[in-house]
Structure 1
Amino acid sequence: MDIKELGIDKNVVTKEYVFSKQEIEIAERRVTNELNQKYTIEGFRRGRVPKSVFKTRFGKSFYEIFVFEKLIDNIYNSVKGENLLLVPEIAESTVNADEAKIVVYLHKKPEITIDYEKIKVKVTNKEQVLDNYVEFRLKTFQEENAILEPKDGEADYEDLVKVKVTILSNDTGKELIKEKEDEYVLYKDDERPIVTNVVGHKKGDIVEFDREFDVSEEGKKLSYHYKIEILEIYNRNLPEITDEFVKTTLSEMHLETVEALKNKLREEGEQIYESETKQSIREQILSLLPDATELDISEKTIDYAVRLIVANMKEENSFENFVKKYNNEEEALKELKEYYLHDLKKELALDKIAKENEIKKEVTDEELDSYAEILAPYWGISVERAKVLVKERADIRKEVENTIFVDKILDVIAEKVEKEVVDVDKDNKEGEENEKEQ
């Protein structure tokens, strides 16, 4: 096999592969053996059909498809280890009994540069976060130990109300929830209709209202009728946080003073802050990394990659539905191209940084156990069960190993980028409840 380099376009090397008569004959024999295993032709014993018969039966396809595939295998084997980004692309080919020439585009991984100055992450002011956390936790202790007094008047903000809830579908008349008892604290900043509509009403009142929910991108809505019967209303008297309150009501914490409580809460908040800030920085870097990355990549590679993606989508019967999301196929292909470049920049940047810092994909059992401890509460299972799943389920283990690997890379980048300290957004209160409706 003679190899001639015809040209270079950034990361694409064009090569011509010329096969000798002997190499073509070897490919012919391999094809004949394989066809004998697949086909039975009348008049010949199975496995004994001559090459000439197959050549007659398949015509040009014998060389242009079957022999061609064997020669391509030789090319693929010859380019292993050449740091290819995509499978070789066949540009031209001539294959017959007398000659075989195949021109191939080798799409190599492009040169990459990362400008860390373009990555600027934000971290919240630590002191403000800790102050707010301590304040929030103290408020929680008060809320949990509030003294309730029955109230005869109208429900007002900060009161607790016990209600009986019934919800019906306006579209079908079906009763979704029937006289379900629940309770709500009427916080002033809670804008849920089930809260705002109760304020100003008395025990025994029945409050009714309708709500609509968007359920599709086409704007389809579902309408529900709410019937809220107020069973009880309570004033909530919040206890003062004193040394006595700490020693008695919070006795399980084994503390003596409010100051000791605040210090403990601050330590607790600091651990949470460090963990969440680290994860926030990782997520920001991962989001900003493609924009800080430049690739010296040929348009041939981008076009080829998109064609491969489209071919795969068509094979999975998902391309038509993808195109429907856009005005036309041209826009859909443009979006695919942008997505591919964005994803490629991220992938190659992570790969480059991992190699430069000798970060390996292998993880230790200790690292897997630590990550399992994080996942356990999200999965709703015990830590021990999570550890077993992470180690024994191949799909889960692979995903966790990759996450740990990427996190190590992002932590290296975090040491190189600028961090801007920002004040806590008072309007975005952590722990605010989200209404869940059916």
Structure 2
Amino acid sequence: MDIVVEQISELTRKLTITLPKETVEPALAKAYAKINKEVKLKGFRRGKIPQSVLEKNFKEQVQGETGEKFVQETYFDAVEQEKLDPVVHPEITEHRFPEDGSFVYVAMVDIKPQFELKEYKGLEVEKPVITVNDEEVDKEIKLLQRHQAMLQTAEEGHTIALDDVAVVDFQGFHNGKAMKEVFNENFTVDIGMHRLGKEFEEKLIGLKSGDKTLYEITFPDDYPNPLLAGKNVEFKVDVKDVKVRIKPELDDEFAKDIKPELNTLAELKEDIRKRLQKEKDDALQGDVDDQLMHRLIELNPFEVPQRLVNFEIQEMLKQTEENLKRSGLSFESAGIDLNDLVEKNREIAVKRVKGDFILKKVAEVEEIKIADEDIQRGYQRIADQYRMTVDEVKKYFKRREEILPFMNELHNEKILNFLREQANIKEVPPVQETTEQAAS
């Protein structure tokens, strides 16, 4: 095997790999012999088809399959021989069988960037000191009370109020045209939950069963549903039914219904307080990690392989597409320009790729590795989150393409735990919300 390496850029190498005639001829002969035994051509007995006839009919197929097999069998040997460290699958730009009987293919290889890790211990970050207040606990209690309530059909003439449930038909119009994706019949609107947007619900308050109405809503540019973002939509709404909530009393029996192991309402409140505090602490930990990664990326400027960035962008697009599908939408129906989306995600993808290289460099220097107990904890966490057994979780991670991202996530978490332990974390008062922020 002959290998010629050209440096295309700092992180890209072009490998031209040539396999000699002595390797190629037997492989092609074996492939033709296999086809001779398997195919049937008019006028020839199976296994007795002349080589010239086989080549005339199956040359493209044989060369394509044999060439692909050669690439799979020799690529990793080639990069190992040249002491390259690829970070993503190569791009095979060509493969051919020249007249001299050899086989030649070209692989564009992106390699791991080399950089000297700057300071990563003692990084200064801020962490707000946040505690759960009584108002937040009471809000959670009221939500539980709401969820435990019974629904009954409202009396005739009852007007829709907060906490009621309205059953409606609606059709959205944009520039006078009906939007086929913004349409539903017998749709349940839980007044106060804002699942269809706060303004949509507020327009229903004061109406009663049998009412029909028409109103316009202007959606902000950053509205989560891309189909509605930045648009003026006129809604035609028909109220079909209204149900009211009959809420249970907030007492010790209520607490037992929510959590049988609890005895009093006071215990339920304390349980809620602990849960909310953990959620806040987890969110703050994520914020600390973001600060650490931002600082590390600032301190360690280096180029990243573009093919790896493109791969990360494609993964992000897949996730967006899956989210849209769950809402019955596609990129096209949601009015999303793919080229714009790619460019919007590029900077995020570069940071993700760069951050992963930095974390792995820290792991290399500090010899941070994944242990069996780390994996078991990861399985248990998923099992707890989705109410599964650990064995059920393990079954999901059978294949290599499923276990590798999971292992990488666990490894990065362990590295971040180390960086957090080494960081200089300064506790600061929480940022006070302005009246306008609180209202929004």
Aligned to 1:325: 336
Cα-to-partner distance string for 1:57-80 (whole Å, 9 max, x where unaligned): 345x37863553344344324236
| Aligned-residue identity in percent | 16
Aligned to 1:72: 71
Q: Following the alignment from structure 1 to structure 2, what is the Cα–Cα distance between the partners of residues 298 and 143? A: 48
For the residues of structure 1 that align with 2:397 and 2:353, how far apart are their CA atoms?
Answer: 25
Which residue identity lines up with residue 29 of structure 1 in the other structure?
A
Kept in 1, the 8 Å contact 2:21–2:100? The answer is: yes
In the alignment, structure 1 segments of 5+ residues that lack a partner are 145-160, 185-189, 199-207, 233-248, 254-260
Determine helix, strand or coil for the equivalent of 1:3.
strand
**Distance (whole Å) between structure 2 residues aligned to residue 309 and residue 176 of structure 1:** 35
The corresponding residue for 1:393 is: 396
- Does 1:347 find its partner at 2:356? yes
Q: Is 1:123 aligned with 2:134?
A: no
For 1:55 and 1:173, the matched residues in 2 are separated by 60
Distance 1:72 1:224 in 2: 61
Q: Which runs of 5+ in 2 are unaligned?
A: 145-160, 172-182, 193-197, 207-211, 220-224, 247-262
The question of 1:217 aligning with 2:219 is answered no
Residues 169 and 238, structure 2, Cα contact 8 Å, conserved in 1: yes
CA contact (8 A) 2:163 2:245 kept: yes
1:277 aligns to 2:284 (yes or no)? yes
Q: How far 1:124 moved relative to its partner?
A: 0.9
The match for 2:112 among 99, 109, 113 is: 109
- AA paired with 2:97? V
Q: Deviations over 1:222-264 (max 9, x none)?
A: 45578999999xxxxxxxxxxxxxxxx97976xxxxxxx99x9
> Does residue 1:371 correspond to 2:381, yes or no?
yes
Partners of 1:393 and 1:80 lie apart in 2 by 32
Deviations 1:272-321 (A, max 9, x none): 6655533442355567766665444466x579x579969x99xx9x9985
Q: Which residue of 2 aligns with 1:30?
A: 30
Structure possessing the higher radius of gyration over alpha carbons: 1
Specify the SS of the correspondent of 2:4.
strand
SS in 1 for 2:133: helix
User: TM (normalized to structure 1)?
Assistant: 0.57
* Map 1:182-331 → 2, pairs under 5 A: 216-217=227-228, 219=231, 220-222=233-235, 224=237, 274-282=281-289, 285=292, 294-297=301-304, 301=307, 321=332, 325-326=336-337, 329=339, 331=340
CA distance in 2, matches of 1:268, 1:95: 66
How far has the Cα of 1:367 moved from its partner?
1.4
Q: Which residue of 2 aligns with 1:235?
A: none
- C-alpha distance 333-54 of structure 1, shift in aligned 2 (>3 A): farther
Query: How many equivalent pairs are there?
Result: 358
* Amino acid across the alignment from 2:350: L
Q: How far apart, CA to CA, are the structure 2 residues paired with 1:120 and 1:103?
A: 47
Note the alpha carbon deviations across 1:183-221, whole angstroms, 9 max, x for none.
x9xxxxx999869x89xxxxxxxxx99876656336345
Measured at CA, do residues 58 and 338 of structure 1 come closer, stay the same or move farther in structure 2, by a change above 3 Å? Answer: farther
User: 1:84 — aligned with what?
Assistant: 86
**Alpha-carbon distance change, 217 to 111 in structure 1, aligned in 2, over 3 angstroms:** farther
Say which SS state the counterpart of residue 109 (structure 1) adopts: coil
1:113–1:295 contact (8 Å) kept in structure 2? no
* Residues 336, 46 of structure 1: alpha-carbon distance in 2 compared, 3 angstrom cutoff: farther
Supply the distance in 1 between the matched residues of 2:312 and 2:288 (Cα, whole angstroms).
35
Supply the distance in 2 between the matched residues of 1:298 and 1:163 (Cα, whole angstroms): 53
Provide the alpha-carbon RMSD of the alignment: 5.9
Pick closer, same or farther for the CA change 1:4–1:289 going to 2, 3 Å: same
1:316-342: per-residue Cα shift (whole Å, max 9, x none)?
A: 9x998599633x85x566457556534
The answer as to whether partners of 1:10 and 1:297 remain within 8 angstroms in 2 is: no
Residue number among 79, 83, 100 corresponding to 1:98 in the alignment = 100
Could you tell me how far apart the structure 1 residues matched to 2:40 and 2:296 are? 58
Output the CA distance in 2 between the equivalents of 1:76 and 1:143.
Answer: 59
Match of 1:282, as an amino acid? D
Contact 1:3 1:15 in 2 (8 A): yes
Tell me if the contact between 2:214 and 2:234 (Cα under 8 Å) persists in the aligned partners: no
Which residue among 415, 420, 423 is the counterpart of 2:429? 423
Given the two structures, how large is their TM-score scaled by the length of structure 2? 0.57
Q: Secondary structure at the match of 2:18?
A: strand
